[in-house]
Structure formats: structure tokens, C-alpha cells
């Protein structure tokens, strides 16, 4: 039996587009008040007009240490509690390592790894105090296998895969569930760096998923009864399932 989420408060990072926006929509439809976190103020304000009082806007630049550190305290001041934290924001680098500069590597690791760890560390005390919660992380199928054209991206997701497994064990006695959804290629802005000929080919092969399909997996995990934890969901296009 699915657990109702009505009346809960959720936080989604990277909420202005892609998987974050699709998850926001699904949570709102389930009766959750959603704090939409993104650095794009203009887009967030536009979406707030669409969603109305079902969402709260939180402008945060996760790559700015001060802004990142202030995020959870600012959200708690606005809404009082956090029942669901979906750490979804991330970036992508593909291609050979030697074609990637040091600045891009730092940016990706700071966003894909460090910001997630900081956000989780910040929200755990509040969840413990209120008696529980759910922490969801958007990982990637690249975090479960060595992808030869993604040395930086895949390594960041391997790190997060490990982090999720460890935190789930640390928090299991606090009624805080920790899980990750690991999608294959999804039609989001993260694919903008892909070679255009390769992107066109995989679209033709129906080898891309929609953000809404990933959001459905997140909702499945969140709606399990409290005594059930879904640790990991790997969701990939059937044509790429090897």
C-alpha cells in the first residue's frame, strides 16, 4: 500500500528544469508543499506563478559556499520543516579527460559531490529532531559501471553512489530513509555537451527517457510504507539495457 505524502514538505534542488521540475510536479500533485531550489531566479519566479502557493521559491547557488551553507537554514525559516530532501542538481562532462580543463572538473565535483554531501549534512539534524524524513539523490547509471567516455562524470556519480550507501546505514535507526535513483540518458540540458551526431542517433533509436519517467521512480520510492526502504532504482531505456 502506498504511503500518502499529503501535507509533507519537500525540497528539490535543480528544480527549475528537467528531472527536478518533473519531480516537483509529481510531489505537488501528491499534496506535498515543495521548496523549489535553483540559482535561476527568473525561471523560479515564473514557475511559482504557475504552481501558486503549492511551492516556495529558494534561490541558491550551490557552487557558492555561502549560498550553499545558507540554503537549509533559510528553508527552515520559510517552511518550518523538511520531510523530503531530493538532491537533484548536477552537471555533466563527457569526452576524454585530456579534453577537460581543471576548472570544469572542479565545478562538476563541487556540484555533483560536495554540494550533495553538504546539503545532506545540513538537513540531517532537522530530520532527526522531527523524528524522520526521506533523502533522495539523483545519481546515474554511470555510477554503477565504468563509462569510457565519462571519466569525470562517472567518477562523481560513483562517489555519490558510495555516499548514499554509507548514509543509509548511518541513518537507518533515525527513521531517515536514504535512496538514489540512477537514470540512463534523459532529455535534459545535461546532454547539451554530447556530440550532436550521437545525440541525434540515440533519439532516433528511442534511447532517451523523459524526466517524468524518472520522477515516477522517485515517487515510487517515497510512497513505500515507512518500514520499507527502496535503496536504489536504476532506470534505463530498454534499447540501452545491456
Residues belonging to the active site: 153
> How far is 68 from 18, CA to CA, in rounded Å?
21
Q: What is the largest CA-CA distance in the chain?
A: 51
Integer Cα distance of 116 and 123 in angstroms: 11
Q: Supply 157's cell numbers.
A: 556519480
The H-assigned helical ranges of the chain are 18-29, 41-51, 65-79, 102-109, 115-130, 151-171, 196-204, 211-222
For residues 66 and 54, give the distance between their C-alpha atoms in angstroms, rounded to a whole number.
27
For every residue of 107-158, DSSP letters joined together read HHHIIIIIHHHHHHHHHHHHHHHHT-EEEEEE--GGGGS--TT-HHHHHHHH
Phi, psi of 97 (to 5 degrees): -55, -40
Helix (H) or strand (E) holding 55: strand 55-59
Amino acid at each position: 500500500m502506498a504511503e500518502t505524502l499529503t501535507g509533507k514538505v519537500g525540497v528539490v534542488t535543480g528544480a527549475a528544469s528537467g528531472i527536478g521540475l518533473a519531480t516537483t510536479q509529481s510531489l505537488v500533485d501528491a499534496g506535498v508543499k515543495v521548496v523549489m531550489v535553483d540559482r535561476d531566479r527568473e525561471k523560479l519566479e515564473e514557475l511559482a506563478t504557475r504552481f501558486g502557493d503549492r511551492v516556495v521559491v529558494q534561490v541558491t547557488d550551490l557552487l557558492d559556499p555561502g549560498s550553499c551553507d545558507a540554503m537549509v537554514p533559510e528553508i527552515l525559516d520559510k517552511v518550518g520543516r523538511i520531510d523530503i530532501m531530493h538532491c537533484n542538481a548536477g552537471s555533466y562532462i563527457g569526452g576524454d579527460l585530456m579534453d577537460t580543463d581543471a576548472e570544469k572538473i572542479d565545478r562538476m565535483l563541487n556540484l555533483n559531490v560536495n554540494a550533495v554531501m553538504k546539503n545532506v549534512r545540513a538537513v540531517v539534524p532537522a530530520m532527526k529532531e522531527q523524528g524522520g524524513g526521506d533523502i533522495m539523490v539523483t545519481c546515474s547509471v554511470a555510477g554503477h559501471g565504468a563509462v569510457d567516455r565519462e571519466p569525470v562524470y562517472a567518477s562523481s556519480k560513483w562517489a555519490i553512489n558510495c555516499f548514499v550507501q554509507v548514509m543509509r546505514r548511518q541513518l537507518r535507526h533515525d527513521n531517515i530513509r536514504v535512496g538514489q535513483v540512477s537514470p540512463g540518458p534523459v532529455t535534459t540540458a545535461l546532454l547539451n555537451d554530447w556530440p550532436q551526431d550521437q545525440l541525434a542517433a540515440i533519439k532516433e533509436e528511442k534511447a532517451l527517457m523523459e524526466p517524468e519517467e524518472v520522477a515516477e521512480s522517485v515517487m515510487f520510492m517515497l510512497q513505500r510504507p515507512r518500514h520499507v526502504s527502496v535503496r536504489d532504482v536504476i532506470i534505463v531505456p530498454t534499447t540501452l539495457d545491456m
